[in-house]
């Protein structure tokens, strides 16, 4: 008699288990990737407006004839530098070169976005 109730109970418990499937695969189209996408677009826009003139369309440098020449931003020599170092250069420029300071033009967020774009050019 009682064994019937036990079977019924077990079935009930089993049917109440939450179904766990694919919960962690929902990355694409999430608010975070969307924000990253817009930040990169913003960085590209800033780059084309302010940096392309010297560093060139693809960031390969030497678009403008000065000594020393504009750095190839896609080169390992540049890409190996930390975000901090590169941001410092964009912020304050390189003394004695054509690389000027952008601190009056670009906000911290702008510098971050333009740097992300430079990183993306090397990929
Ligand atoms: C008038 C030309 C000119 C413009 C415009 C310019 N740069 Fe530069 N940039 C240079 C030159 C020249 C150098 C190389 C300096 C050197 O050799 O020390 C340089 C170097 C750099 C470096 C340092 C690379 C390293 O090796 O550390 C970064 C980063 C950089 N530029 C980013 C930018 C960004 C971002 C912009 C736009 C906001 C920009 N530059 C606009 C001329 C320019």
Q: How many A from CA of 54 to the centre of ligand 1?
A: 8
State how far the alpha carbon of 121 is from the alpha carbons of 11, 39, 47, 49, 80, in Å: 57, 14, 11, 16, 14
Q: Which two tokens stand for residue 23?
A: 């919960």
Return the pLDDT at 23: 47
Pocket mutation for ligand 1, best pick of 67, 70, 75, 101 (most atoms within 8 Å of C-beta)? 70
Shortest-distance Cα residue to atom 34 of ligand 1: 51
- Cα separation, 94 vs 54, in Å, equals 14
pLDDT along the chain (123 residues), means of 10: 61 54 59 93 98 97 94 98 98 97 98 98 93
Q: Is 81 in the pocket of ligand 1 (CB under 6 A)?
A: yes
Return the pLDDT at 75: 97
Return the pLDDT at 62: 86
């Amino acid at each position: 008699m009682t064994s019937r109730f036990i079977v019924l109970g077990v079935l009930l418990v089993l049917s109440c288990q939450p179904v766990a499937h694919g919960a962690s695969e929902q990355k694409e189209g999430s608010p975070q990737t969307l924000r990253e996408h817009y930040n990169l677009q913003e960085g590209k826009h800033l780059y084309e407006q302010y940096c392309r003139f010297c560093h060139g369309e693809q960031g390969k440098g030497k678009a403008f004839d000065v000594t020393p020449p504009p750095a190839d931003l896609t080169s390992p020599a540049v890409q190996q530098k930390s975000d901090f170092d590169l941001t410092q250069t964009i912020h304050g420029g390189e003394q004695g070169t054509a690389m000027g300071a952008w601190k009056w033009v670009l906000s911290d967020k702008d510098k971050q976005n333009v740097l992300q774009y430079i990183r993306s050019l090397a990929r």
